[in-house]
Structures are given as C-alpha cells and as structure tokens.
Amino acid sequence: MSEVVLSTGGTGGHIYPAVATARELLLRGHHVTLLGQRGGMEERIAAEQGLPFFGVQAGKLARSGQGKADPRELLRASSGLLEARRFLSRTRPAVVVGYGGFASLPGVLAAQTLGIPTVLHEQNARLGLTQRLAVRRAKAVGTAYPVVAGLSGSKATLVGMPVREERLSRAEALAALGLDPGRLTIFIMGGSQGSLALNNVLPEVLRSTFPDGQSEFGPVQVLHATGPRWVTSVAPRVADLEWYRVEGYVDAVAAWSAADLAITRAGTGTLAEAAFHGVPTLMVPLPESSENHQLFNARAVEEAGAGQVVEQPSVSAQMGGAVLECLVPQRRRAMQSAALSRSPAGASQRLTDLVLAHARPEAT
C-alpha cells in the first residue's frame, strides 16, 4: 500500500475533486491523506468523508491595491510550507497532487523541494496563480478543459472534472425532494456557500417572469439553494409562491437529477455536475473570481452550446428572458445534448491513472 497526498482547500471546487480522487485511490488499495489549511473547509469535509487530514497554515495570495502581497499572508504561507515539509519528510508519499487554490500551495511546493513527484489538477479554463507557481516542476497537469490559457500543451492531459458520479431518475429525484412531477424544475445554486447576489435578485426576477407559476411550455417550479446563512432572509420573500421552494442546502444528486434548467455561478465543479446530469445552465460568473476565471469557464460552456452567460450587472434585466428562451423545448433538448457531451464521467479514474503514472514506482 502506497501513500498519496492530495493537497487542496479553500473552496468546494478544489476540495470535492480531491475527495473523488481519494475514493478512487482507496478503491485501488492506496493510502490517502488530504493536506490543506488547518481549520478550513477542507478539514470539515475530510472529517465528514472519513478521510485522514493534515492541516497547515496557508496564506492567501490576494494582493492589495498597490499590487503588493500582505506580509502577514506571506508569513503564514512560509510557516505552512515548513509544516508541510516536515509532514512529507515523515510520510514520504509516492506522489503529491495539487488541486489549486492558496491552501494547496504549501503541500505542493514542499513536495517539490523534497524531490517528491507532483501532479496538478487544473479545474478552470485559465491556469490559476498557485498552479503557475508550481507548474514548472510538476510532472503533469490534468485539465478539465481541452485548452487551458497559460498552460503548455506538453504537460497537459485532458481528464475532466471529478464529480460524484451518481444519478437518480427524474421521478425518484422529484419524489425525494418533495417536488411536483408535473412542473418544469428550475434549480438555483450559487456555489457551496450560496451567492448573496443571486439570492438578492432572482426571487423577484422569477416572480415577474412567472407571476402565476405558469409558462407557455407548462407550469414551473423553483428549487433555490441559498446557502445555510441566507435561507432565513430569502424564504419570507417568496412565502406566498407555492411553486418557489427555498432551502439552505439540498442533496446535489437529487437536485441535479430533478432539474430541467439551472441558474448558477460558473465554478468548474458546478459546471461539471451540470454536464454529468445533462442540465442546461444559465451562468452568472462571479465577477470577483480570481483572474476572472469563472467568466472563462462560462464562455467555454456557452461556446459548446450547453449554457448561456448572463453577467451579474445584467441579471435583473436579462435573466427572465434568458430563462424563457432556454425553456423552449427544442432549445432545451439541444442544450441538454451539448451538456451531456461535456460529461466528466470517468474523470476520477483518468486523473488517478495520470497521478499513478508519475508516482514513484512503489505506488503503481
């Protein structure tokens, strides 16, 4: 049994692909440890998933208006690098995998200073800052998009975005969620923590678009996952709409299996789930995303015909019309087909194959 360390953290888009890879590695008989920020979201998710976790300090790489990194964050990053180095020196894994985000950097750079092979997974259509710092010494990069801006093709291998590969029938999903099987279902999800901007605007937009819960293509219903912290502020605003359901959190497999159309941000994890389930997606990229990577992601999906971009300043004016356009049966079927053509099914296996191909021989 060989040791593999998965260095990840910060957001669900970085963490859940690591969890999916961990599951595949465990099935193949390897020992896995997640390495990330102590006290971060990744520590909680690792505990929930029953996966070993080692926490270090991690400094954010965000820059001030003067373009200078915060010295306190650099100090934390340096401390985390030393902590990760000590851990890896003890465990001597066969390979370390980096999933991007500031919390992944200590583990990846520490491995590279110790001569431990590293493989990166880039979820976005543009190579992120932390990945750019590590890519020169990495053995390979598994990508979620056929072309990644800023990444040389010589190191890139298209593997897709690892997701939870489970589906329910539409009937099973609607029953599990307590939704009406006779209505078209619009699923709103602003990421693992929800989106304040979408929560603020979409209830009124959809109330205006469907005053009586009806469309020319049939009755509609909305399942709006607000994120736990926002549910009490959103639910009262739609309490009079029997067709508008607000939840802080929903089971993702059931929600995606039930959805006829989704309105989301444009993190790659979200877009990969939409593709796996064949759900047309109206994407509102997060304007503050690092180096505007969500817009790059969304444009790639739009170009493939699987979704449509509505930028955040235009949501109030354009989203209602975009929803109606995407509910047209012919267009919806075409978008469903395009989404399924982008499905990441098998991504966990492909990424694991790539990782083990570059591990020290005892890992294979």
User: Is 24 a residue whose pLDDT tops 60?
Assistant: yes
Same domain, 8 and 86: yes
Residue 130 is assigned to a ligand binding site: no
Burial of 280-312, coded b for 16+ CB within 10 Å and e otherwise, reads bbbbbbbeebbeebbbbbbbbbbeebbbbbbeb
Residues comprising the chain, all counted: 364
User: Is 215 a residue whose pLDDT tops 90?
Assistant: yes
Specify the range with the lowest mean pLDDT, choosing from 112-121, 163-172, 184-193, 222-231. Answer: 184-193
pLDDT digits (tens, 9 = 90+) for 87-107: 999 999 999 999 998 899 999
For residue 283, being part of any structural domain is answered with: yes
Same domain, 290 and 229: yes
Residue 308 is assigned to a ligand binding site: no
Mean pLDDT on 44-73: 75
Same domain, 72 and 39: yes
**Which residues are paired to 187 by β-bridges?**
223, 262
Same domain, 154 and 109: yes
Same domain, 334 and 353: no
CA distances from residue 21 to 24, 31, 46, 279, 326 in whole angstroms, order as listed: 5, 12, 13, 24, 34
Same domain, 147 and 268: no
Residue 265 is assigned to a ligand binding site: no
Same domain, 264 and 327: yes
Find the domain containing 85 and state its range. Answer: 3-163+345-357
Same domain, 228 and 325: yes
* pLDDT cut 90: percent of the chain above it: 77
User: Is 363 a residue whose pLDDT tops 60?
Assistant: no
Q: How far apart, in whole angstroms, are the C-alpha atoms of residue 140 and residue 354?
A: 8
Same domain, 49 and 179: no
For residue 362, being part of any structural domain is answered with: no
For residue 267, being part of any structural domain is answered with: yes
CATH code, domain with 182: 3.40.50.2000
Which candidate, 121, 79, 125, 85, places its Cα nearest to that of 100? 121
- pLDDT the model gives residue 146: 86
Question: Phi first, then psi: what are they for 20, rounded to 5°?
Answer: -65, -40
User: Is 6 a residue whose pLDDT tops 90?
Assistant: yes
For residue 132, being part of any structural domain is answered with: yes
User: Is 67 a residue whose pLDDT tops 50?
Assistant: no
Residue 323 neighbours by CB under 8 Å, 6+ apart: 186, 206, 209, 261, 263, 282
Mean pLDDT on 257-277: 95
Q: pLDDT band at residue 70, thresholds of 50, 70 and 90?
A: low
Q: How far apart, in whole angstroms, are the C-alpha atoms of residue 90 and residue 122?
A: 27
For residue 142, being part of any structural domain is answered with: yes
DSSP states of 98-137: E--SGGGHHHHHHHHHTT--EEEEE-SSB--HHHHHHGGG
Q: How many distinct structural domains can be found in the chain?
A: 2
pLDDT digits (tens, 9 = 90+) for 247-266: 998 999 999 999 999 999 99
Specify the range with the lowest mean pLDDT, choosing from 148-157, 245-254, 342-351. Answer: 148-157
Same domain, 14 and 147: yes
For residue 364, being part of any structural domain is answered with: no
Same domain, 143 and 235: no
Q: pLDDT band at residue 126, thresholds of 50, 70 and 90?
A: confident
Q: What is the pTM of this model?
A: 0.79
Same domain, 122 and 183: no
Who wins on pLDDT, 334 or 297? 334
Residue 12 is assigned to a ligand binding site: yes
For residue 52, being part of any structural domain is answered with: yes
Residue 11 is assigned to a ligand binding site: yes
